[in-house]
Structure 1
Amino acid sequence: MTSLRALSAAFLALAVSISPAVGHDFQTGSITIDHPWSRATPPIAPVAGGYLTLTNNGGMADRLVSISSPLSERAEIHESTVSNGVASMRPVQNGVEIEVGETVELQPGGMHIMFMKPSRPLKEGERFAAKLTFEQAGTVEVEFVVQGMGAGPATTSEHDGHGEPEQ
């Protein structure tokens, strides 16, 4: 009976210690920022991309108006489009609106963040800080997790470890 209690206590301690590692979400006001991530970059890349999902759980629309990071000289929100078979990318004017109850994905091939003139190459497995500023919800610090060069959006199981501080 004592060993069963000890085993149960050990299992509970393990479960509690693992649970924060599952998510990589941030919150400010009514906005949830899910899994900010980037791709590893070559040694002399002039830009790095940033991707995340924004969800507005509040009662009024909000807008992501700016992004900054100590990683780069500046950060911009860009949109990729294809018109008549020609791909182009341009900065988004006036930020990104997130309507009530809406989820907006910033992802490769669509709207995304461009970190201009990064101070160093990004390596898979590392993290870097950024600040997102919203009209209503204010400013929040987030952490981008760097995935492999050809990475796409992560699945839930790939989020493991992203919420844990670096050891």
Structure 2
Amino acid sequence: MNNDLKNAQRLLLGHGALILLLGFIIGFGFLFFLLGEVTVWPFPGTIKYQFPGTYDAWRMAHLEGIANGLMLWIMAAVIPLLQPYIKRIYRISVGMIVVAWTFVIASAIDPIFPNARGLAFNASSNLASDTAFFLFYIGIIIAFVAVITIAVKTLRPGGEVR
């Protein structure tokens, strides 16, 4: 295994773990939103506070962390199979790390800020929504480029053509 592949796998595994941890932490926010208070057993006491956002926004933010962290781990397992077809495997890996972070951060904006789903750009709307939109936009463009590159390179006739 060459150094580019090892470094790519190391980065994918490490960032996948960090994104999973962020998904877990957001899961606590989701739990506290559902409870309407902050309480952590076995610590005594509760803080009466209703977290902002909606059920769907918290669930989506939590699942984005889980799904994208696992996606990076799957990518780390798959890239040795891609290496014969793709010359710059490290670049594809870094791109997918950027995708994962942009999606998770953009999803985490929605439950915290009102009307910040990031579905469209509207300069007269709120800054949080526009920030989420641009984060999603960056991630989607990179994801399309990476997936199209993988499809084209691996489906090209002729075997190990780079």
TM (norm. structure 2) is 0.25
TM (norm. structure 1) is 0.25
